[in-house]
Amino acid sequence: MASPAARLQLTVVALLALLALLRGGIYAVSFPAFEGPDENAHYEYVRLVYETGRWPSLTDTSPVLREQVTTYMRERGYGLYRRGANNRPELIFSTEITRQPPAYYVLAALSQVPLGDVSLPVQVVAMRLVSVLLTAGTVVLSFLLAHELFPRDRLLWLGVPLVVTLVPGFTFVGAMTNNDGLAAFGVTLVLYLGVVILQRGITRGRAFAIIAAVALALLSKRTAIHALPLALFVIPLYYGIPGLRGHARSLRRFALTLVVGIAALLAIGSLAITFDGDAAEWTKVGMTSRSASAEAASLGQHSLRVAGDVPTEWGGLIQSVSPEEVMRLRGRTVTVGAWARASNSASAPGGFAIGDSVNGAQSEVGVPLTAGPEWTFHRVHKTVEPAATELYVRLQAEPGAQVLFDGVVLVEGLIAPNAGLPQARDTGAASVVWGGRELISLVRDGSGEERLPRLRHRVARTLQTMRLDPGIVAAMLDPTNYAPGLRARWPELLRFAFESFWGNFGWLNVPLGSTWYNAALALLLPGLAGLVLFTWRQLRPSDELGSGQRKSLALLAAAACLTFVVGLLPFLANAFPGELPQGRYLYTGIVPFAVFVMLGYRQIVPERWTRLSLFGLLLALVAFDGLALATYVLPRYFAV
């Protein structure tokens, strides 16, 4: 027979799960189809997994499916619109296929199996219910983690899951068709297992369990990449204590298990994904599926393949000049030249451009072209802005077209049209004689000759997929990206992240009023003040916390910091010019956030007031959530 404590724990788990499912279900049916951020693109990914029975590629994209979704949204006025090239509003329909890991989409595709031929809204609600289940799982894990960490403190092991459950923004995102819910669940599972290991000890079963949790997190979403370093951080936390020699055998066994498990995951991933022949130095944008070609070349054996592989989407390649060269070239004129021809048709429309960026505002000078069956040379020049922070070359093919580029060069100076054609000194066009001068090209691998070896290629592409491509890392490490002029936008970026974390619905076009965000801040401030007090107390010798608790809190602090690095720092470092950091990028760290806020409240709430404090917290969060839903969301979509 279960003990009273065990029965209480099961009851609390059941009630929390029921509350999360109920609230998630309300959100799932209250919001019209495709009114979650990029929900149309996530829906497309799920449907293609369901219809093809495999991980789809860009060539599987269905224009018919996209047209159905787009028509549905336009007829109802839903979705986010922006100005297109023709200065008319255009519906955003991004592409998540191949851009996001597949785990969520496989799970959501299972929800389509029993449906048969049903309407779009029913299909979307079925997918959303998968997200609701995952979000409820995160809520349950938050309770189990808090109970494991503070088994005798009801304010903490009840307050933490209440915060996670009742943040409106988390409930909203966790009830839409997207992979954010699985990412939060995966990272929280890694943290829970890490806390269990630090509290109870290492076993082989727990080692394999945390490896599986890391795999789940990595297969969920790019912003869950920090699950791997968090799992590895458990090792020094657990063994970095006096008496390490007594643990040497256990340490070797656990480390061997962890290394073998991670190596097996990497090996399986390498076998599952074959080498696709991409050029080494170019980043694919749009719908280009393969960026190097041996079909034809004006130099060497390869050329750069730029393709709109989907009939309705353009394709492109882009390469940025190093930050040092950008600073050197400010105010100077540069010239770009390239050979072009059609790949598999008599003509193929496309073009290329040279562009720069100043505080996120981009300026381009381009050359539209229609490539034919023969190689032709094209050029364009531009004066770099005096305050430019980025300089790049972009190659593009129109929807359905395939254009080959070769001998792409970017040189300093104005090369006049009567200066003749550049004569490359090597097959990669790294240096050329042009206009009577010998020049070094600032574009790397301008002919697609540098095709990455399999292992290096896989690692590079995986890092790019997981938001750790060299360009983003370089941006975060570049001191010029933290100059006073760029830091002036930080308050705006941080405010947007905070507000969308608590609740900015639809396509981030249904925000709450400023009073609501001020109320959320008022709820946080006492907890943050108490957390400062708690940190100060821990600087002095104390028996307030056990060894396992201190190490577990260190793990959660690392999780909070890494969530900030992955989800927010790239935007502060101007790695994504013009984009705003959405609060959902931080939901992989919502449980550490809740733990530290409630830990701060514990410092200022006497033990005898625990029950009253929990009731007040529940009342405040329910009121915040319910009134936000009733006064902002429902009137937006169901106004009479």
Q: Domain for residue 130, yes or no?
A: yes
CA-based radius of gyration for the chain: 27
Distance of CA 280 to the CA centre of its chain: 23
512 and 375 in one domain? no
Q: What angle do CA 220, 223, 225 make, to 5 degrees?
A: 75
Domain final position from 401, 429, 451: 451
3-state secondary structure (DSSP) of residue 20:
helix
The pTM (predicted TM-score) of the whole model is 0.70
183 and 44 in one domain? yes
446 and 497 in one domain? no
CA distances to 276, 278, 394, 451, 502 from 460, rounded to whole Å, are 13, 11, 20, 12, 35
Compute the distance between CA of residue 39 and CA of residue 46 in angstroms, rounded to an integer: 10
Q: Domain for residue 398, yes or no?
A: yes
Compute the distance between CA of residue 207 and CA of residue 193 in angstroms, rounded to an integer: 9
Query: What was the pLDDT predicted at 282?
Result: 82
Q: Domain for residue 236, yes or no?
A: no
529 and 422 in one domain? no
CATH number at residue 364: 2.60.120.260
Query: What was the pLDDT predicted at 127?
Result: 96
CA distances to 340, 480, 493, 511, 514 from 489, rounded to whole Å, are 40, 14, 6, 20, 19
319 and 185 in one domain? no
Q: Domain for residue 596, yes or no?
A: yes
Domain count, the chain: 2
Are 430 and 440 contacting, i.e. CB atoms less than 8 angstroms apart?
yes
297 and 439 in one domain? yes
500 and 438 in one domain? no
Domain final position from 429, 451, 473: 451
CA distances to 289, 315, 471, 491, 555 from 283, rounded to whole Å, are 11, 11, 10, 30, 34
Q: Domain for residue 595, yes or no?
A: yes
Query: What was the pLDDT predicted at 488?
Result: 80
CA distances to 1, 46, 54, 286 from 49, rounded to whole Å, are 45, 5, 5, 20
Query: What was the pLDDT predicted at 289?
Result: 63
Domain final position from 433, 451, 469: 451
Sequence-separated (6 or more) residues with CB below 8 Å from residue 89? 81, 82, 83
Q: What is the DSSP string of 373-410?
A: SS-EEEEEEEEPPTT-SEEEEEEEE-BT-EEEEEEEEE
Query: What was the pLDDT predicted at 264?
Result: 63
Give me the domain span that covers residue 408.
283-451
Alpha helix positions (H), 295-448 = 323-329
Q: Domain for residue 609, yes or no?
A: yes
Query: What was the pLDDT predicted at 117?
Result: 83
533 and 442 in one domain? no
445 and 512 in one domain? no
Query: What was the pLDDT predicted at 454?
Result: 45
Mean pLDDT by 10 residues, the chain (640 residues): 71 89 92 89 92 78 81 76 48 76 92 88 95 96 94 87 92 95 97 95 91 93 90 88 49 61 58 52 72 77 80 80 82 93 85 86 88 92 89 89 91 88 85 87 84 49 52 68 75 92 88 88 89 84 79 94 90 78 93 93 82 81 82 72
Q: Domain for residue 556, yes or no?
A: yes
Beta bridge partner(s), residue 361: 358
Compute the distance between CA of residue 144 and CA of residue 151 in angstroms, rounded to an integer: 9
Compute the distance between CA of residue 121 and CA of residue 369 in angstroms, rounded to an integer: 42
Query: What was the pLDDT predicted at 59?
Result: 65
295 and 156 in one domain? no
Q: Domain for residue 339, yes or no?
A: yes
Burial 425-436 (b: 16+ CB within 10 A, else e): eebbbbbbebbe
370 and 443 in one domain? yes
403 and 341 in one domain? yes
